[in-house]
Structure 1
């Protein structure tokens, strides 16, 4: 189900017009498809249903951990880019020699 959802959303992203690509329903469907894939991660690796077994729990933990780490990175990336830009600007302005002329 998740793979089919992501394939359909991929088709919209590649062939859709600008209005369709940016529509909130497309984002919601993409998130739902990704969640369905993460939920059934063990089936993708083992090709057998171990959802209620110990291996199924491990696959859910790994996929949730991976998605959480990815979400944290993508959320924090603009913040750290802005911090580095401000720091570079601040360092560049404080290390410039003064323009006072001696008389």
Structure 2
């Protein structure tokens, strides 16, 4: 583990990226835990208000992101400064993207169905940064052996292929499979080869003159939603909390 860390993270200069990702994920988890406690009326935490205005945590998140970003640029290759600003940036990004849905809708939708978009964006962001750390950007390592070059080339080809599968799944109206397929290749492959969902770009273009394919797609979508909607919602509720019927202050 130590050799891998030195060879693939420290030597190519990706330690700040690892620190930023760790801070990002931990900030999201801690923030979600705190907001759920506030919502339940438990613990010492309360909403922050100034003059009757609810200050969302995306506000300090933006400030920390700006400080971390500009600080990292100003620090150059200073090891300690670069690491500190990377952590600050990760914390700020975690706070901002936890309320991504609010920024997208310009409305407090944190505890609504629309608010689940924040969780999906956080998962996708963490997955993409994780791919960079795992070898998608395999530059900066000196004196690579033939085996290491082959391994890194295989990683790049695998990720590129998986990305294409994810794009096909996305065109078939399978947003979650496309997002999670970035991390788990099998998910993207399954989403790419199975029937498109009704109303998706793929279905509108390719099923337009194929009534049997349209009927099969409708039937499959109905059966899939009936079977998996319950477990899927339960998992989402476990991660992000159950949504309300209407948006409101946390």
TM-score of the aligned structures, taking structure 2 as reference length? 0.29
Report the aligned-residue RMSD.
Answer: 2.8
Any unmatched runs of 5+ in structure 1?
88-103
SS at match of 1:48: coil
Any unmatched runs of 5+ in structure 2?
1-59, 140-147, 155-250
Distance in 2 between the 1:15 and 1:86 partners?
33
Aligned twin of 1:43: 102
Distance in 1 between the 2:71 and 2:120 partners?
29
- Mark the structure with the bigger radius of gyration: 1
Aligned twin of 1:82: 149
Distance in 2 between the 1:34 and 1:52 partners?
20
- Give the one of 35, 43, 65 matched to 2:123: 65
Count of residue pairs the alignment pairs up: 84
TM-score of the aligned structures, taking structure 1 as reference length? 0.63
Correspondence 1:4-15 to 2 at 5 A: 4-15=63-74
Structure 1 residues 55 and 26: alpha-carbon distance in aligned structure 2, compared to 1, 3 A threshold: same
Deviation at 1:60, TM superposition (A): 2.3
Higher helix share: 1
Does the CA-based 8 Å contact 2:65-2:89 persist in structure 1?
A: yes
